[in-house]
Amino acid sequence: MAKPSSKPKKSTISSSTDSTSPDNLAQEEDTATATITVTAVEIPELTEQEISDRLHLERKVERAFFEAGKALTELRDRRLYRSTHKTFDEYCLDRFGYNRSRSYQLVDAAVVVDNLQKCPQIVDILPTAEGQVRPMTKLEPQEQQEAWLKAVELAGGKVPTGRIVKDVVQRIMERTKVPNTYQIGEVCQILVKDNSELRGKGGCWGIVSQANEFSCTVRMWDGEYAIGLQHLKSYNYLPAECEQMRVICDRINRVYSRGLEESVQRFLESLGKLNRAYLTALEEKLLGVLESEYRDEKIT
């Protein structure tokens, strides 16, 4: 019986490349010393029109807070919110999410920037943020211009930070510091002079609720305001008269805060301009009717 033939087995030989071989070493050296050529992409220069557009858009970004303040001022002064909201404060909070403080920060900032633009020495370098303007709202218009010019100088001819402006304003205020002699509870008249922030408050009376270093917090028929000492004049009422005016202020404020119709508000505002420490019989009667209306609403 023949033996089965033995067939040779096929074997697969894997060839591996020796990394230390002379050829591979040469390739590595070539790779290490290879020069990579990068083609630079040429960025075209801005055209004159593009430069003009860029400056225009940059100015719009920088003046955003200023434009907002101007718009809010017009909305407030023309009472364009009256068809949907009783008060300007309610409108700003509902429409823009601004509380009373933020709304008036923007309004006050717009007033200051308007004043700075009137100064021939201030040409291109104007505030770019409301925070740079806020410290200057405490100053008179001429002092605002002086403060901004000095702050720009300290900033090396660039737009100064709010901190630089605040430091300059502080030095000006210390230079013109007047001792605050007003007492809590004292009745004062509001003097607008050339301060547009106090528009509509000229000749009104208020009661000092807090005596600050450079201003007084004054309570009026429609709320409290921080007013510089130069915009206040005492009526020099006797203590009993001051107390009587405080009671009248509280009464007016309680009714006014109800957001009643415009004719009623106008009557209450007229009481806010009294130059005497009492109400006439008719004024007392009308205010009493309004208070009764307020109490009836509260009960229902």
DSSP 20: T
Are the CB atoms for 216 and 233 separated by under 8 Å? no
Quickly count: other Cβ atoms within 10 Å of residue 258's Cβ.
Answer: 14
Strand 232-234 and strand 187-190: pairing? antiparallel
CA distance 95 to 86: 13
What are the start-end ranges of the H helices in 97-161? 100-117, 130-133, 141-154
| Strand order across the 187-190 sheet | 223-228, 215-220, 205-211, 187-190, 232-234
37 or 92: which carries more pLDDT confidence? 92
Spatial CA neighbour of 151 closest among 134, 245, 220? 134
pLDDT digits (tens, 9 = 90+) for 201-228: 888 999 999 988 778 899 998 888 888 8
Q: Measure the CA dihedral 136/76/202/284, to 10°.
A: -140
Q: pLDDT tens for residues 16-46? A: 445 455 555 455 555 555 566 656 667 788 8
Tell me the C-alpha distance between 211 and 58, whole Å: 42
Cβ neighbours, 10 Å, residue 66: 22
- Mean pLDDT computed over 259-278: 86
CB-CB contact of 106 with 68 (8 Å): yes
**266 — pLDDT class (breaks 50, 70, 90):** confident
Q: Tell me the pLDDT band of 278, cut-offs 50, 70 and 90.
A: very high
Whether this model's pTM surpasses 0.75: no
Q: How high is the pLDDT of residue 281? A: 94
Q: Which two tokens stand for residue 103?
A: 């709304």
pLDDT at 17: 46
Query: Which tokens go with 124?
Result: 């291109």
Q: So what's the pLDDT on residue 86?
A: 87
What residues does CATH 1.20.150 cover in the chain?
52-175
Which helix (H) or strand (E) element contains residue 190?
strand 187-190
Q: Considering the chain, what is the average pLDDT of its residues?
A: 82
pLDDT tens digit string along 107-159? 999 999 999 999 988 878 899 999 999 999 888 899 999 999 999 999 999 99
With b for 16 or more beta-carbon neighbours within 10 A and e for fewer, the 18-37 pattern comes to eeeeeeeeeeeeeeeeeeee
Average pLDDT over residues 159-179: 86
Whether 4 has a pLDDT exceeding 90, the answer reads: no
Most trustworthy range by pLDDT among 7-21, 124-138, 284-298: 124-138
- Nearest Cα residue to 216 out of 178, 261, 165, 162: 178
Burial of 278 (0-12, 13-18, 19+ CB in 10 A): exposed
Nearest Cα neighbor of 207 from 195, 229, 190 is 190
Q: Are 144 and 194 in contact (CB under 8 A)?
A: no
Task: For the domain made up of 52-175, give the CATH fold.
Answer: Lysin (1.20.150)
pLDDT of residue 49: 85
Which one is predicted more confidently, 260 or 150?
Answer: 150
Which of helix, strand or coil describes residue 139? Answer: coil
Say whether pLDDT at 3 is over 50: no
**Phi–psi pair at 143, nearest 5 degrees:** -70, -30
> Is the CB of residue 103 less than 8 Å from the CB of residue 72?
yes
Contact 151, 157 (CB under 8 A): no
